[in-house]
Structure 1
Amino acid sequence: MSQPAARIDANEIDPDLWCLFDQYVHGDIDRRGFLDRAARFAAASGTTATALLAALSPDFARAQKVAPGDARLKTEFVEFASPAGYGKVRAYVARPAQAAGPLPVVLVVHENRGLNPHIEDVTRRLALENFIAVAPDALFPLGGYPGDEDKARELFAKLDQTKTREDFVAAATYTRTLAGGNGKLGAVGFCYGGGMVNLLATRVPELRAGAPFYGAPAEADQVSRIKAELVLVFADNDERINAAWPAYEAVLKAAGIKYEAFKYPGTQHGFNNDTTPRFDATAAQQAWGRMLALFNRTLR
């Protein structure tokens, strides 16, 4: 007889289990390592470690907000050159089906699993806010997002990050040439993507606004190059990312960078991702609203 599926209440999850899941998500431990160490949490919940992992993992269909074929949007996949990177980048582009005039462009940078269905959905959500949204897939040189989160993480570890960074710089260059764009560029990214937004702010002087969600900071000696206005999003319970914030804030202040930073009480790393129990609806709504306010203020 199969074990019952875990019933997850995010507010009742042991903090140590969140830390363990964070290690798994970011590749510090593999699936077997997670299952072995999660066994005691599963036993306390009356289920199995496998069922517990399934309950913590993304449910893309349940969380989808904008269908791929939504008639309000025009979507397509495009490819463009990245001479200093892997040679070619593939990206998902979403825009309003009808627009009154040129629109701002927002680069959307995924987490460490490539362009999965959740990030495609986020891209469409942005398009419905009257932006042209462009989401590259860092895994394209390795065959693209494989349709499985574990396989995606495994592939991601095989990327040459020097080349991948150049692919995202090439994507930023590409976005500014898009037909229908107004020439003004913003960027939002989540986790790995948040760190990439911080990096792009130092590499792309044309970037006007960046919204890094719980991302690694830019290199301190590069911060003075930032021209973009930043709205930085942090989870409350996210020691790995938050430990770097005081030093990053100090260099942002020293360089005179315009920024705001928000830490959302009681939240976990990844709280904006509504496909998993880490999702916090109130905090996500506030963070999304602040991101939109930034882009509307700086890119219109």
Structure 2
Amino acid sequence: MANEASPCPCDIGHRLEYGGMGHEVQVEHIRAYVTRPRADTGKAIIVVQDIFGWKLPNTWYMADLIAGNGYTTIVPDFFVGKEPWNPSWEMKTFPEWLKSRDARKVDKEVEAVLRYLTQQCGAQRVGIVGFCWGGTVVHHVMTKYPQIRAGVSLYGIVKDSEDVYDLKNPTLFIFAENDFVISLEQVSLLTQKLKEHCKVEHQVKTFTGQTHGFVHRKREDCQPADKPYIDEARRNLVEWLNKFV
């Protein structure tokens, strides 16, 4: 998430006071937060954290929102015990911190979570949603795992690579117009490359006037004019999962 007044990518900004409706579990070598729907549907969603880690209340809130729409939802610790980013740290240390948390080197964790969902939760159809760093994970995963039936990448993008446009299944990309982390030029290039190379259904949607992290920030802390965009993006996310998972 981002606070418009701060130059920090994904600033902790609008943090929810939220305890969660699910529970923590051990999934092979990683911890995770799991929420089950009221009735088992055989469908599950992997929710991927932003730089503030798998325990961020905002991410658990979004996982519970998705679970309320009929999905077993899991938020794994894709940092595998490494410290999440702390907004009190100096930004000059951010690039070095990020080096050991490569969003394209999560295959071991993805496969462990897929085993858990199918073997322990009875999931027959799986999708994935990710925010910021997690949005980049989604972009990567959707080029590699055809068994993951749909993806929603929120303000995350794989940059400077030519091998990321052959998506295996339908993917929705959500961006903010005023995102200082991801430029509109990068969004435009992604749109063009997907049009040229992607053979499955996809959509790239940019929300007017919004900033990085707008979908999973606390709505009460936003300007009234922003709330309809947050609601629309959340609705688009769920509709995409409902259509393709």
TM-score range (shorter-chain normalised) is 0.7 to 0.9
Q: Counterpart in 2 of 1:24?
A: 8
Per-residue CA deviation, residues 245-277 of structure 1 (Å, 9 max, x unaligned), is 222222211222311121111111111132385
Among 114, 121, 136, which residue is 2:53 paired with?
Answer: 114
Q: Counterpart in 2 of 1:284?
A: 230
Which runs of 5 or more structure 2 residues have no equivalent in the other structure?
none
Change (3 A) 1:24 1:174: same
CA separation in 1, counterparts of 2:122 and 2:66?
Answer: 14
Change (3 A) 1:124 1:203: same
Tell me which amino acid in the other structure corresponds to 1:112: I
Q: Does 1:262 align with 2:205?
A: yes
Per-residue CA deviation, residues 39-63 of structure 1 (Å, 9 max, x unaligned), is xxxxxxxxxxxxxxxxx833321xx
Among 189, 192, 206, which residue is 2:133 paired with?
Answer: 192
- Measure how far apart 1:209 and its partner are: 0.7
1:227-238 → structure 2 map (5 Å cutoff): 227-238=168-179
CA separation in 1, counterparts of 2:26 and 2:105?
Answer: 15
Change (3 A) 1:77 1:264: same
Query: How many pairs were matched up?
Result: 232
Are the counterparts in 2 of residues 187 and 197 from structure 1 also a CA contact under 8 Å?
Answer: yes
Question: Percent of aligned positions with the same letter in both sequences?
Answer: 22
CA separation in 1, counterparts of 2:215 and 2:163?
Answer: 30
Q: Counterpart in 2 of 1:273?
A: 216
Larger radius of gyration: 1
**What is the TM-score normalised by the length of structure 2?**
0.81
CA separation in 2, counterparts of 1:78 and 1:240?
Answer: 33
- Measure how far apart 1:167 and its partner are: 4.2
Q: Counterpart in 1 of 2:148?
A: 207
**What is the TM-score normalised by the length of structure 1?**
0.67
RCO higher in structure (CA 8 A, sep ≥6): 2
- Measure how far apart 1:160 and its partner are: 4.4
Per-residue CA deviation, residues 72-105 of structure 1 (Å, 9 max, x unaligned), is xxx2322233xxxxxx221111112x41x43311
CA separation in 2, counterparts of 1:216 and 1:158?
Answer: 16
Are the counterparts in 2 of residues 138 and 164 from structure 1 also a CA contact under 8 Å?
Answer: no
Q: Counterpart in 2 of 1:76?
A: 23
Q: Secondary structure at the match of 1:215?
A: coil
Higher helix share: 1
Per-residue CA deviation, residues 92-140 of structure 1 (Å, 9 max, x unaligned), is 11112x41x4331101011111111221222112111111001012334
1:157-196 → structure 2 map (5 Å cutoff): 157=98, 159-161=100-102, 164-196=105-137
Tell me which amino acid in the other structure corresponds to 1:270: G
Change (3 A) 1:281 1:245: same
Q: Counterpart in 2 of 1:31?
A: none
Change (3 A) 1:292 1:161: same
After superposition, the CA RMSD in angstroms is: 2.9
